[in-house]
Amino acid sequence: MKPLSGRHILGSFINAVSWDEAVTAIHLWAAKRESRYVCICNVHSVVTARSNREFSKVIRDADLATPDGAPIAWMLRRLGFSNQERINGPDLMLRYCAHAERTGESIFLYGGSTETLRLLEQRLKKDFPALRIAGLHSPPFRKLTEDEDHEVIEKINNSGAGTVWVSLGCPKQEQWMAEHRGSINGVMIGVGAAFDYHAGTLRRAPIWMQRNGLEWLHRFCSEPSRLWKRYLFTNTLFIGLALTQLIRRETNTPPTR
């Protein structure tokens, strides 16, 4: 497989990949049980990384950082990757489950509540009857003790899963994956609210909103008290910084002859 290319967006390097390239990269790593992690990056991710040095390093060190969120995919298109699609967590998870069912790979589910995991397992077994779910684990909201963390690592590694789907929310899931690269023998993919969407405990935006870059608006309307600050300040800041980046790029680009 050819090296994955991409561009820096507000300082964070985001890979320009197709759905097939993302699935293939994860599959190749998982087949060898390589310890790697994948970040699904949206506007909130890149804006947070710009002001948080520790989180910026987590994104920078990721083995794959996909463009989640229409604005991130749009920026990549403006920066030279004209066909770039939005590679989001919920859809990547389903696409990979279909792939894993065909190839006989096993997956591990980490995150969410016990009830969410129960419903998610039912949904996945219904949609992908031959999918091998090697294990699942609902961690407490607090930080794990050293012994608890060691037990989790053993549980995942002993399961034989090639991929670990992590749903802890941003930036907790990204930090968790970065901390466990080298100890968990598999590819960790942070998928945010994907567990809740697929379990049916949280309603996802209609397809037309997803295709038109309005999934954020649906989430905001669903949880306005929790998300209004994120979308008001983060989105506004992103627009200003993104336009500044594009203007500087145009200014610094030598004229063609």
Q: What's 112's domain CATH number? A: 3.40.50
Q: How confident is the model at residue 250 (pLDDT cuts 50, 70, 90)?
A: confident
- Does the residue 159 lie in any domain? yes
Strand 132-137 relative to strand 187-190: parallel, antiparallel, unpaired? unpaired
Tell which phi-psi region holds residue 6, choosing left (phi > 0), alpha (psi between -120 and 50) or beta. Answer: left
- Asked if residue 163 has pLDDT above 70, the reply is yes
pLDDT (mean) for 205-229: 64
Residue 227 has a pLDDT of: 59
Residue 226 has pLDDT above 70, yes or no: no
Rounded CA-CA distance 96/23 in Å is 6
The pLDDT of residue 251 is 76
Is 228 part of any domain? Answer: no
Residue 71 placed within a domain: yes
pLDDT surpasses 70 at 242: yes
How much is the average pLDDT of 244-256?
74
CA distance 83 to 132: 33
Token pair, residue 30, equals 């998982």
| Average pLDDT for the chain | 90
For tokens 């939005």, the residue is 86
73 vs 207: CA distance, rounded Å: 17
Average pLDDT score over residue span 3-24: 94
Which among 114, 118, 117, 186 is positioned nearest to 154, based on CA atoms? 186
Q: Where are the alpha helices (DSSP H) in 61-214?
A: 70-78, 89-103, 114-127, 146-159, 172-180, 194-199, 207-211
- Look at residue 215 and tell me whether its pLDDT is greater than 70: no
Task: Return the pLDDT at 223.
Answer: 64
Task: Identify whether 256 is part of a domain.
Answer: no
In a domain, 106, yes or no: yes
**What percent of the chain has pLDDT above 70?**
86
Residue 220 counted as domain residue: no
Q: Express each pLDDT in 82-93 by its tens digit.
A: 999 999 999 999
Domain limits at 84?
A: 6-210
- Whether the pLDDT of residue 231 is over 70: the answer is no
Residue in the structure block whose two tokens are 């298109």: 77
pLDDT of residue 257: 36
What local confidence, expressed as pLDDT, does residue 234 receive? 82
What's the pLDDT score for residue 255?
42
pLDDT tens for each residue of 126-157: 999 999 999 999 999 888 999 999 999 999 99
Looking at the domain assignment, is residue 244 inside a domain?
no
What is the number of structural domains in the chain?
A: 1
How far apart, in Å, are the Cα atoms of 27 and each of 6, 55, 104, 132, 256? 20, 26, 11, 15, 41
Q: How confident is the model at residue 190 (pLDDT cuts 50, 70, 90)?
A: very high
Q: Is the pLDDT of residue 256 over 50?
A: no
Most confident residue range from 67-76, 115-124, 141-150, 241-250: 115-124
pTM score of the predicted model:
0.89
Give the residue-averaged pLDDT of 46-67.
96
* CA-to-CA separations, 248 to 5, 46, 197, 229, in angstroms, rounded: 21, 18, 39, 28
Question: Is 81 a domain residue?
Answer: yes
- Alpha-carbon distance values, 15 to 89, 130, 155, 166 (Å): 14, 31, 31, 20
* Per-residue confidence (pLDDT) for residue 187, from 0 to 100: 98
pLDDT reported for residue 81: 96
List residues bridging with 66 in a β-sheet: 40
Per-residue confidence (pLDDT) for residue 236, from 0 to 100: 85
37 contacts 177 by C-beta, under 8 angstroms: yes
